[in-house]
A = this chain, B = another copy of it.
Amino acid sequence: MNLEKIKEIKEGIITKEKFEKGVREGSIVVLKNLNDDEILGIGEGMLTKINANIGIGEGSDIEEELKKGKIAVKYGADTLMDLSISNFDDVRRKFLKSLDVPIGTVPIYQAYIEKQKDMDADYVLNVIEKNLKNGVSFATIHAGITKSIVGDIKKFGRRIPITSRGGALLAAWMLMNDSENPLYENFEYIAEMFKKYDACISLGDALRPACIADASDYAQFAELINLGKFVKIARKIGAKVIVEGPGHIPLNEIESNVKMAKKICDNAPLYTLGPLPTDIALGYDHIAAAIGSAVGAMHGVDFICYVTPEEHYSLPDIEGVKSGVIASKIAAHIADICKLNYTMPNENMTTARRNLNWAQIFKCGIDKNLKKPENLKNKKPCTMCGEYCALKITEKYFE
């Protein structure tokens, strides 16, 4: 591996030795990328990375989703996941060909949707292998949800039993067929395939809480314990593995959730959807997720899945994808200031501000495409304070 292609090594954020130790021990995984020669590392000591979900839902098409993927990358998504629910093979190949970041998928969608009740383990494994052969960098494997946990949910209840699409498909299949989860039963074989194709297993959290009331409950933790075992198995086989995390979690439970997940999963890189610290931010879930994921990443989350404003009620449009990516980037950077002392971007902004250098200020902002209002002239204050700008008033007194 050419270590000079890793941003954190180039910028002195991590040493080569620490990086190599992390990769060896599994606290860092490297995602392969078919189209670019920058190497993406995720995990301890690395910058927090972000993923954007794209893919065909109802009423969107391949070109539209490709456009969303390109916008997501333009605004800083490090990876993309294809969550399509139709036209699987075409979409996946198109995305892999056209997008310059590591691509992830969720093969169980295709396996179930193509076969429904008649899906069997062979079919699932074949779909997984097809994904890996095509060159996906990572794929979600919901191996932790079992008949027994689903039975517990039926027995003990849960406000919203399952919100994960993959989890719901598997639970339905298990109940229809009175059979165990094929991903649980065939995990070693799956891990061997991932190893063969140099791809990373993303252990799915099929039972992530769907609401604050279900946060940190028996179902979530029962699955987590299974995921911890699968981390050990994957590492023994030599497959790369990361772990997906919740979900809806109140803000004051995020730290313990992150630390517990890292502990149970032997410090495997943690990949969270949010967490969302409230259920009611409808239309603004990118903001709720940014709050949860900044706190999560500060305490150890390595990889943030974006959430768009439209989460919970619609596929996002292009603008929603952009908003989701930017909110996640802000959260990731806020966390990186704390966990890596990565302050340089802030130092540069501070210098630009002190000099009222508007061109530079806009260059230092997180959104490189933000339009600078025309009235902003260098050395002149903005319309908020006009001539009573604090910086302007005091500049002659402080050197």
Bitwise interface map of A from 331 to 365 toward B, beta carbon under 8 Å scored 1, else 0: 10111011000010111011001100010011011
Stretch in A2-10, A90-98, A258-266, A312-320 with 4+ CB within 8 Å of B: A312-320
- Within 107-140 of A, Cβ neighbours of B (below 8 Å) are at 109, 113
Tell me the bound Cα distance from A213 to B389 in angstroms: 20
Known contacts: A278-B333, A278-B334, A326-B284. The answer to whether A382 contacts B314 by CB under 8 A is yes
Tell me if A384 and B57 are in contact (CB < 8 A): yes
- Within 260-286 of A, Cβ neighbours of B (below 8 Å) are at 277-284, 286
Please report the total number of A residues contacting B with Cβ < 8 Å.
94
Bitwise interface map of A from 355 to 384 toward B, beta carbon under 8 Å scored 1, else 0: 000100110111100100100100000111
Bitwise interface map of A from 145 to 171 toward B, beta carbon under 8 Å scored 1, else 0: 000000001100111111111011101
Known contacts: A210-B353, A287-B290, A295-B295. The answer to whether A250 contacts B337 by CB under 8 A is yes
Q: State whether the Cβ of A189 lies closer than 8 Å to any Cβ in chain B.
A: no
Q: A213 contacts which chain B residues (CB < 8 A)?
A: 343, 346-347, 350
Closest Cβ neighbor of A371 among chain B residues: B283
Q: A365 contacts which chain B residues (CB < 8 A)?
A: 280-283
Known contacts: A337-B278, A354-B160. The answer to whether A385 contacts B85 by CB under 8 A is yes
Tell me the bound Cα distance from A226 to B314 in angstroms: 51
Tell me the bound Cα distance from A159 to B154 in angstroms: 59
Q: State whether the Cβ of A193 lies closer than 8 Å to any Cβ in chain B.
A: no
Tell me the bound Cα distance from A165 to B361 in angstroms: 20
Tell me if A168 and B382 are in contact (CB < 8 A): no
Known contacts: A251-B294, A298-B251. The answer to whether A168 contacts B393 by CB under 8 A is yes
Tell me if A171 and B277 are in contact (CB < 8 A): no
Q: A362 contacts which chain B residues (CB < 8 A)?
A: 282
Closest Cβ neighbor of A364 among chain B residues: B280
Closest Cβ neighbor of A112 among chain B residues: B388
Q: State whether the Cβ of A58 lies closer than 8 Å to any Cβ in chain B.
A: yes
Q: A286 contacts which chain B residues (CB < 8 A)?
A: 287
Q: A283 contacts which chain B residues (CB < 8 A)?
A: 365-367, 370
Tell me if A163 and B337 are in contact (CB < 8 A): no
Known contacts: A154-B397, A346-B212, A350-B211. The answer to whether A327 contacts B390 by CB under 8 A is no
Q: A172 contacts which chain B residues (CB < 8 A)?
A: 393-394, 397
Q: A288 contacts which chain B residues (CB < 8 A)?
A: 330, 334
Known contacts: A373-B313, A393-B172, A394-B168. The answer to whether A334 contacts B291 by CB under 8 A is yes
What are 29 A-to-B residue pairs whose CB atoms are below 8 Å?
Answer: A58-B384, A113-B388, A157-B398, A159-B354, A160-B350, A160-B391, A161-B398, A165-B390, A168-B389, A168-B390, A171-B397, A210-B353, A211-B349, A211-B350, A212-B337, A212-B346, A212-B350, A213-B350, A251-B335, A252-B338, A277-B334, A279-B353, A282-B365, A288-B330, A290-B291, A291-B330, A312-B361, A313-B384, A315-B383
